[in-house]
Amino acid sequence: MSDQELIARILDGNKNAFRDMIKRYEYLVAATVYGMLGKCPEAEDVGQETFIRFYNGLKNFRGESSVSSYLTRIAINLSLNELKRRKRRLQVFHKQDEAHFELPDQHQHNIYDGQNELVQSALKALKPKFRSVIVLRLIDGYSIQETAQILKIPVGTVLSRLARAQKKLKEILLPVIGETV
């Protein structure tokens, strides 16, 4: 069943159609949110809020972009809002800056988990505008053009941010994992 057919059924009040839509896109939304926020309690809330906002705004969905792009844009916006809330909370409590990079304890995790945690820590060290480009382009697999459309920025800006983000990630990861980066 196509996305448009599911949308029509959802708008007709079919709850199973909305469940099907969630199942179809839950991995994409989760990958986007975890890419932006890391694994944290707020990530699940942002993922759920993404689908709630999608459902509530479905009457206004014009179909100019794909459902995946629409959901990704909602997830990115909500993730950026959460990052802003975190920053405000950190400022209020004078805690350590959220962009501080800490190495995970490699002895407590298997190699895959350690590498995953290492990459998540490195992603957290990036400013949100750079992190969003990395997540959309390299984790979610969107093209440069699609990334530009989702973020509502020029293609040149996507390319520039992508290059700067990759350079920063390399600077962070190179001392930790060596020349294989």
- Compute the average pLDDT of residues 55-82: 90
- Does 108 share its domain with 88? no
88 and 105, same domain (yes or no): no
Q: Which of 70, 95, 120 is the last residue of a domain?
A: 95
CATH for 137:
1.10.10.10
Residue with the bigger pLDDT between 63 and 127: it is 127
Same domain, 171 and 131: yes
pLDDT number for residue 33: 93
pLDDT averaged over the chain?
82
User: Half-sphere exposure of residue 19, counting CA atoms within 13 Å on the CB side?
Assistant: 3
Same domain, 86 and 11: yes
Task: Count, in order, helices (H) and strands (E) of the chain.
Answer: 8, 0
Q: 14-57, pLDDT tens digit by residue?
A: 989 999 999 999 999 999 999 998 888 889 999 999 999 999 99
Percent of the chain with pLDDT over 90: 44
Rounded Cα distance, 82 and 147, in Å: 20
Residue after which a domain boundary falls, among 57, 80, 95: 95
Residue 81 shares a structural domain with residue 107: no
Q: What is the pLDDT of residue 90?
A: 61
> How many residues in total does the chain contain?
181
Among 95, 113, 136, which residue terminates a domain? 95
* Calpha distance 125→127 (Å, rounded): 7
90 and 113 share one domain: no
pTM for the full predicted model:
0.71
- Closest to 42 in 3D by CA, of 99, 93, 100, 83: 83
Task: Provide the number of structural domains found in the chain.
Answer: 2
pLDDT tens-place string over residues 131-150 = 999 888 888 888 899 999 88
**Closest to 139 measured CA to CA, from 113, 166, 114:** 166
The answer to whether residue 114 scores a pLDDT higher than 60 is: no
DSSP string of the chain? --HHHHHHHHHTT-HHHHHHHHHHHHHHHHHHHHHHH-SSHHHHHHHHHHHHHHHHTGGG--SSS-HHHHHHHHHHHHHHHHHHHHHHHHHHHT---TT------GGGS-HHHHHHHHHHHHHHTS-HHHHHHHIIIIIS---HHHHHHHHT--HHHHHHHHHHHHHHHHHHHHHHH-TT-
The pLDDT value recorded for residue 57 is 92
Mean per-residue pLDDT, 136-165: 90
- Split at pLDDT 50, 70, 90, the class of 115 is low
**Domain enclosing residue 166, as ranges:** 99-181
Question: Are 91 and 107 contained in the same domain?
Answer: no
Same domain, 79 and 134: no
